[in-house]
Amino acid sequence: MREHLGFLKLSSVVVKIAAWIFLLIGLFLLTSPFFLKGSGYPKKILLFYSAIYIFFFFLFFLIAKIADLLGKIINEIKKE
C-alpha cells in the first residue's frame, strides 16, 4: 500500500484544484447577474447552476480530505 502513497497525494492535490475551480465558477455564476446586465439568463437558473457548482466544490474537497486522511493513516500504520 505504501507504493501508492505518491499517487494518493497527487490525486488529492488535483482534486483540490478541481474543487477550487468549481467554487470560482459557482461564485462567478452567483455574482454574474449583478455585473452582466441583460445576459439573457434568468436569475433563478444562474442561482441553480451556482448551487450545483458549489455542491461539487464541497464534494470534491471532501474527497480530497478523505484521500489526505487515508495517506496519514497509511503513514501511521507503516511506522508501527
Grid coordinates standing for 8? 494518493
Polymer length of the chain: 80
Q: What is the pLDDT of residues 7-41, one digit of tens each?
A: 888 999 999 999 999 999 999 888 887 777 766 77
pLDDT at 32: 80
Q: pLDDT of 41-79, one tens digit each?
A: 787 888 888 899 999 999 999 999 999 999 888 888 877
Q: What global pTM score does this model have? A: 0.80
- Domain ranges in the chain are 2-79
Residue with the three cell numbers 439568463? 41
Confidence at residue 77, expressed as pLDDT on a 0 to 100 scale: 84
State the pLDDT at residue 34: 76
